[in-house]
Structure 1
Amino acid sequence: MPTPSSLRRSALVVLVALVLAACTPAPRHQATAPTSGAASASEGVDPALAPFYEQQLEWKVCGSQQCAEATVPLDWSQPEGETITLALRRVPATGDPVGSLLLNPGGPGHSAIDFLPSFQQLVSAQVRAAYDLVAFDPRGVGVSSPVTCVEPAELDALTAWVPDFGTDEGIAEAVRRNAEFGQACLERTGPLLGHVDTASAARDMDVLRAVLGDDALTYLGYSYGTDLGATYAALFPERVGRLVLDGALDPTLDSGEVAAGQAAGFESALRAYVADCQAASGCPLRGDVDDGLAQVSELFDKIRANPMRTQTDRELTVSLAFSGVATPLYAQQSWPVLTQALTSAFAGDGTALLQLADQYYNRQPDGTYATNQNEAFTAILCLDDRAPAEPEAMRAEAEQIAAVAPTVGEFFSYGGAACADWPVPEVGALDSYAAEGAAPILVVGTTNDPATPYAWSQALADLLSSGVLLTYEGEGHTAYGRAGSCVQETVDAYLLTGAVPEEGARC
């Protein structure tokens, strides 16, 4: 089962917009206008791929949405071989549509189809009028030829499991248990397990662009969705229309750098939370900020030694406790929930933290899991990148992480154990993400984002030859749709007119 040393899902905990002072960055240059024309959408395609690019979607009514399925190759290097299906959901534009806005909420492994009602709230009325909102579950995710691994009870045991990384034997045990998990995934998923990498999913997106009738891709991706969008741009720069990449991942980072960056991000977010908590009444954390962080660390140590009781038949282990603490840090509006959960935990009741951990893992009250996001998360990341698994290398990395994140760093260490013996070969990242020749791409970064640190958005904007950075000065994971009018109006202007902000624009 994955350790928290890799990116987790990007679901926004709350959707409350902050009232901010307006910023008015002036347009610098224009992005390619979206167009819709099925006749030209598949021009220049390899004839071997033409059956995929020229397929006709059959849209059906699915409640308040429309649904369809698209077919893509299982293995893009063998387009005449097996195929898989991708599930799509669409909310038609409320006005005259200029094209489709393809959506991804992150993860990897989070279902865009499940998140579509939230997208309808995040995206402004003007954008909903101009675009058909189209959500799709990437290959291996949700209802798109999904990765399947274990039964819910086994997943419960894996998410609650507390590895012992203090000895070589403990590390070997972690490698073994993760390998068993991977083997279960292979047995239940079959050959698809070796083809759920990000580059394959990005190639799928180009088929979706074509079958939706768009000459250029218009896209909104959060968190891991920025990795997917950047990969698309690198593979198909001439097909880039208007891409919004919010809460960016730097795709050139290796797993160790991701772990260190994210650990520092959550440490910073936790520090900001503690300061905010102590400034209000009813905070269970005493003294100054350093004292408060020490009390959180002591709570983790106490739970590690003796799992905490809850008002369920499950105990709160320290692994679950960290997940419970991390979940409200994704959005500042959820900080009061963390205060309530910590207050209960300090009183010896871990129920609230367990509930937050269940939200993190998408576990439902009846013990089932709403989606396969946990299995898909591991399967995708183990194909994209594998950290060194030698004990000494992981120990050295853990020391570096602890130096930048003394409170939470332990939960981001020893990530190499997750994929050390994964049963299918690594695919790896692309050689370049410059996307030379692409139209302007808008990258949005939040200065104290815990899950995707601001430096990653800066790096991606520099990495993309046409990247333009919009900075939101604030807390929480991602910005568009929750961070007030300045971000909203700037991103809307880009999606609706192609206007990009001046260099150095901040909200």
Structure 2
Amino acid sequence: MDFRRHPSTVRRRTALLAAATGLLVAGMSACSQGSSGSTDVALAALPSSDQTRLSAYYDQSPKWRACGTSGFECATLKAPLDYDKPSAGDIDLAVSRKKATGPGKRLGSLLVNPGGPGGSAVGYLQAYAGIGYPKKVRARYDMVAVDPRGVARSAPVTCLDGKRMDTYTQTDVTPDDAREQQQLSTAFEQFASGCQTGDRVSKRVLPHVSTVEAARDMDLVRAAVGDEKLNYVGASYGTFLGATYAGLYPERVGRLVLDGAMDPSLPAREMNRQQTAGFETAFTSFAKDCASRAGCPLGTGTPTRQGQRLKAFFDELDRTPIATGDPDGRKLVESLATTGVIAAMYDEGAWPQLREALTAAMTKKDGAGLLALSDSYYERDPDGTYTNLMAANAAVNCLDQPPSFSSTKEVEEALPAFEKASPVFGAGLAWSALNCASWPVKATGEAHRITADGAAPILVVGTLRDPATPYPWAKALAAQLSSGRLLTYDGDGHTAYGRGSDCIDGAIDTYLLTGTPPKDGKRCS
């Protein structure tokens, strides 16, 4: 429903099917919602006395244990539910690591986060980063991950069970009249209500899953593993998490890689609109590639014409869903088909799968392939259960910034701008951004710049045709950070590290191993 994330499962499955998170975004001050500009307010560093005040948490020693995945250890750390009121109680943070394999001098720990918000960092570490990162990096670093608060194993937010999630994901997000608008608003209200009423842990943690709080948790992990400074690789939303850490603790910044960067200075509505344009850019690349191949389901001609064909197909599904063979009886409706196409935009390695799925759906009325892509995006398992990705995604986003839209009227007024950004996806993405309007917890953050004055060099990576984190965001974040260094990948897909560019991988590996960043503005293909 809300595409503001890096889909860890799609990326893992396509990349590990063929190679490596969610929806995306967040932000945190003086910008009114819906403004098209950025803010001049900067995130302030925390005082050094903060660690002393929280010494009970900083003095923890993790009790590592085997956790079922060969070569990995797991532990649980305590964090205050409310950093302003530590007496309010604790939450448990799930941490995992894989020790440095050698040879070479150990460089400390390398914390990784795949994005989201809502992607499981522990799952990402154990399924990909701990075995798929370059051997020379794994040789020198203990690979470490912590599920952010509210996510997966760390006091997870829960909202709807599997059957109700199935209904939710099939809700029409391109309403044609007032009745359908009300149905969409009701779906968002029921989802939000479920997050607060369905689970005791969820209700308790819901007001305390902001990115600032998750970044403060990372500092507890840094201390627990014995590092003076944090070394970190964050993708997508993980770049916002890493940049927030740098803003709060600039003197504790070690080697930070922010890949697929976000611009925290953008208000939520403008961020959604720019991301909508990013998906259009990615679709244009896919369409051009598809047209060059025999049997392209979108035909030949310009990407504009191909987009019109795809939009017409979506409209047809809105009227008449098609069969999927799903054992739970789900048909391919417009919302699921749109999600399936968007999922494949994150990784050009998924384009062949998307061509096959579109061919089957458009010519044979077989929606199984697009449903499979949609399910991977939502992290729905074959047994009908979902991870808490979607719940955590909404919980973090709706706390980090005021809602993009507060009413259906506001969405209607913004539709022309979104449809101009993407004739194919604009309407659906605009209406999906209504999801925080009825959120039960008031936002605690707003858009702001992050400068991290005094931090060591921070490497910001942007991909020119990234769908979810448009390239201008990387330029903006690198410019905001006082020590930012921009590395550009002339390529497709979401994020750049580990996607096959020796130039990108070499620059990042050198930085992680030696601390020397590439020259600011370096470009790779």
- TM-score between the two structures when normalised by the length of structure 1: 0.91
Alignment of 1:394-473 (within 5 A): 394-429=411-446, 431-473=448-490
* Aligned-residue offset at 1:43: 7.9
The one-character-per-residue Cα deviations of 1:242-276 (angstroms, maximum 9, x if unpaired) are: 10000011111112112111111111111111111
Distance in structure 2 (CA, Å) of the matches to 1:120 and 1:208? 17
Aligned position for 2:258: 245
Which region of structure 1 is more displaced relative to structure 2, 305-314 or 129-138? Answer: 305-314
1:399 deviates by: 1.0
Once structures 1 and 2 are overlaid, which stretch shifts more, 81-90 or 282-291?
Answer: 282-291
* Whole-angstrom distance in 2 between the partners of 1:134 and 1:429: 30
Deviation at 1:474, TM superposition (A): 0.4
Q: Which amino acid aligns with 1:14?
A: A
1:157 positional shift? 0.5
User: Where does structure 2 lack aligned partners over 5 or more consecutive residues?
Assistant: 21-46
1:79 to 73, 86, 107: 86
- Report deviation, 1:304: 0.8
1:119-134 correspondence runs (5 A): 119-134=129-144
Partner of 2:61: 56
Check conservation: 1:121, 1:481, Cα contact below 8 A: no
Query: Tell me, what secondary structure is at the counterpart of 1:245?
Result: strand
Distance 1:284 1:169, change over 3 A: closer
Query: 1:153 pairs with 163, 173, 176, which one?
Result: 163
Partner of 2:279: 266
The answer to whether the 8 Å contact 1:7/1:258 transfers is no
Q: Aligned partners of 1:144, 1:48: CA distance in 2, in Å?
A: 23
Contact 1:10 1:224 in 2 (8 A): no
- The 1:503–1:163 alpha-carbon spacing in structure 2 relative to 1, beyond 3 Å, is closer
Q: Give unpaired runs (5+ residues) of structure 1.
A: 19-41
Check the 8 A contact 2:8/2:124 in 1, yes or no.
Answer: no
Aligned mate of 1:207, from 200, 205, 220: 220
Deviation at 1:284, TM superposition (A): 1.8
Alignment of 1:156-235 (within 5 A): 156-163=166-173, 165-168=175-178, 170-187=180-197, 188=199, 189-235=202-248
Given that 1:263 and 1:412 are in contact with CA atoms closer than 8 Å, whether structure 2 keeps it comes out as yes
Partner of 1:380: 396
Q: Hey, what's the Cα distance between the residues in 2 that align with 1:102 and 1:287?
A: 45
How far did 1:97 drift?
2.1
Distance 1:213 1:43 in 2: 18
Contact 2:318–2:334, Cα closer than 8 Å, also in 1: yes
The yes-or-no answer on 1:479 pairing with 2:480 is no
User: Which of 108, 118, 124 pairs up with 1:99?
Assistant: 108
1:340 to 347, 350, 356: 356
- Cα displacement string for residues 330-353 of structure 1 (whole angstroms, at most 9, x for unaligned residues): 111111001000000112111110
| CA contact 2:173–2:432 (8 Å) conserved in 1 | no
Q: Secondary structure at the match of 1:413?
A: helix
Contact 2:267 2:446 in 1 (8 A): no
Match of 2:334 among 318, 339, 351: 318
Partner residue in 2 for 1:3:
2
Question: In the alignment, which residue of structure 1 is the partner of 2:40?
Answer: none
| Superposition deviation, residue 307 in structure 1 | 1.2
Which of 145, 149, 154 is 1:144 aligned to? Answer: 154
CA distance in 1, matches of 2:174, 2:496: 37
Contact 2:235 2:495 (C-alpha < 8 Å) held by counterparts: yes
Equivalent pairs counted in the alignment come to 481
**CA shift for structure 1 position 175:** 2.9
SS of residue paired to 2:61: coil
Give the alignment's Cα RMSD to 1 decimal: 1.8
Distance in 2 (CA, whole Å) between partners of 1:311 and 1:493 is 49
Q: 2:487–2:518: 8 Å Cα contact kept in structure 1?
A: yes
- Write the distance in 2 (CA, Å) between the matches of 1:252 and 1:68: 35
Q: Is the 8 A contact 1:311 1:351 kept in 2?
A: yes
Q: What SS does the aligned partner of 1:414 have?
A: helix
CA contact 1:103–1:133 (8 Å) conserved in 2: yes
Q: Single out whichever of 147-156 and 174-183 deviates more from structure 2.
A: 174-183
User: Is 2:51–2:58's contact at 8 Å kept on the other side of the alignment?
Assistant: no
Tell me the equivalent position of 1:28: none
Paired residues of 1:102 and 1:218 also in contact (CA < 8 A): yes
Pick one of 322, 327, 330 that aligns with 1:308: 322
CA contact (8 A) 2:272 2:433 kept: no
* Residue identity matched to 2:2: T
Residue range with higher mean Cα deviation, 430-439 or 356-365: 430-439
1:416 to 1:453, Cα distance in 2 relative to 1, 3 A? closer
Q: What secondary structure does 1:427 align onto?
A: coil
The alpha-carbon deviation at position 326 of structure 1 amounts to 1.1
Letter in 2 for 1:435: A
Moved beyond 6 Å, runs of 4+: none
Q: CA deviation at 1:190?
A: 1.8
SS in 1 for 2:279: helix
d(CA) in 1 for partners of 2:66, 2:171: 42
Aligned to 2:24: none
Amino acid at match of 2:318: R
Cα distance between partner residues in 2 of 1:114 and 1:46: 29
- Relative to structure 1, is the Cα distance of residues 431 and 291 closer, same or farther in structure 2, using a 3 angstrom cutoff? closer
- Aligned partner of 1:448: which letter? R
- In 2, are the aligned partners of 1:9 and 1:109 still within 8 Å (CA)? no
Q: Distance in 2 between matches of 1:417 and 1:61?
A: 43
Aligned-partner residue type, residue 78 of structure 1: K
User: Deviations 1:154-200 (Å, cap 9, x if unpaired)?
Assistant: 00100111145444554444333322221211121122101011110
Query: Whose RCO is larger (CA < 8 A, sep 6+)?
Result: 1
1:291: Cα distance to partner?
A: 2.5
1:399-427 CA distance string (max 9 Å, x none): 10101211111121034521112111211
Equivalent position amino acid for 1:86 in 2:
L
In structure 2, do the counterparts of structure 1 residues 408 and 481 end up closer, same or farther at CA, with 3 Å as the change threshold?
Answer: same
CA contact 1:75–1:81 (8 Å) conserved in 2: yes
TM superposition shift of 1:287: 2.8
